[in-house]
Amino acid sequence: MRDIIEYMNIADSLKAAAKRSGLSMNAISKRTGLNYQTVHGFLTGERDIAVSTAQRLADLLDLELRPKASKAAGKPTKGGR
């Protein structure tokens, strides 16, 4: 079963998964086709990451990427609907 990461804490989750995998940033870079500095920026949270790129990293690191549940989910709308 894959670990689940939510969009809001993606850098921390990717960094932890990379560490667990034992892959170096250089190996991750080569396997995903991303520039080393780009991978470093994503894993340190210094750089924003597109969802499609996050998915490439998640696939390599055996993670499931999905949106974070909204805090407003399940609350009734105005008028009780």
**Tens place of pLDDT per residue across the chain (81 aa):** 666 555 457 888 888 999 999 999 999 999 999 999 999 998 888 888 888 898 899 999 998 887 766 665 555 555 555
- Could you tell me if residue 15 is inside a domain? yes
Domain range enclosing 33: 3-66
Domain count across the chain: 1
How far lies 9's CA from each of 14, 40, 77, in Å? 9, 16, 28
What predicted TM-score, i.e. pTM, was given to this entire model?
0.68
- Could you tell me if residue 81 is inside a domain? no
